[in-house]
Amino acid sequence: MHLPMTPSFRLDGRRALVTGGSRGIGLGCAVALAEAGAHVVIAARTEAEVSKAVGAMVEAGFSAEGAVLDVTDLDGQAAFFTAQAPFDILCNSAGLARHSQALVTEPADYDAVSDVNLKAAYFLAVNVAKGMELGGSIIQIGSQMGHVGGMERAVYCGTKHGLEGFSKAMAIEWAPRNIRVNTICPTFVRTPLTAPTFADPEKLAWINDKIKLPRVAEVEDLMGAVVFLASDASAMVTGTSLLVDGGWTAA
């Protein structure tokens, strides 16, 4: 009798790019991919933070290097990919949030959030896909807010909904080339950037009411998800979202 075997979650011999990978969710994703055997290139805007993250990963025995990259600089993006060997995996964790009530949204804030969450994310996927001659996995870090609405988050929600839309379209377009495109959509994750939100009693009560599991998310909650979507274990998964939201959108 032939028994089916679980496809490998290992990523040995593969090159992974993690944008926004020097801290928070991005750093967690970088470590997870490296733990699974990938060589990881961490790209972010701040050289000191990139160096610190890469140094810690190398010290821990992982294969990693760093690059300074502003993802909103599309000419810089193009030059970066020209200088790099092709990647097998992209995990785009670069993101920006400037929350306000819709009636007082400033055009400059709208543009800033859209430039990172939509435009830069779009062209990162395009640029990395050009080099994926043997296929690959593109993973965008979206948000539960790409599936629902939220108070004071009209611009942010709009960009994350847009991310879902173009990711589905790319998944269809690039499927014949064996390039898979998916999103990971977390709920509120405990990081230094979200500390002010969790320190606000009213906002914390709202979050705890929406998340059905009895806690908020930690960076570690996303690490298994990124390895799954990067690996052969998800070889038939494309054009979809993996919601790591504690039941938020189920309700």
Which residues form the catalytic set?
156
126, two tokens: 């395009």
CA distance 55 to 176: 38
CA distance 57 to 248: 33
CA distances from 167 to 30, 92, 187, 193 (A): 21, 12, 19, 26
Task: Show the DSSP H helices in the chain as ranges.
Answer: 24-35, 47-59, 74-83, 107-114, 121-130, 154-174, 195-198, 201-210, 220-230
Q: Say how many C-beta atoms besides its own lie within 10 A of residue 105's C-beta.
A: 16
Handedness of CA 148, 152, 154, 155 (dihedral sign): negative
CA distance 227 to 137: 10
- The dihedral formed by the CA atoms of 160, 164, 169 and 175, expressed in degrees to the nearest 10: 130
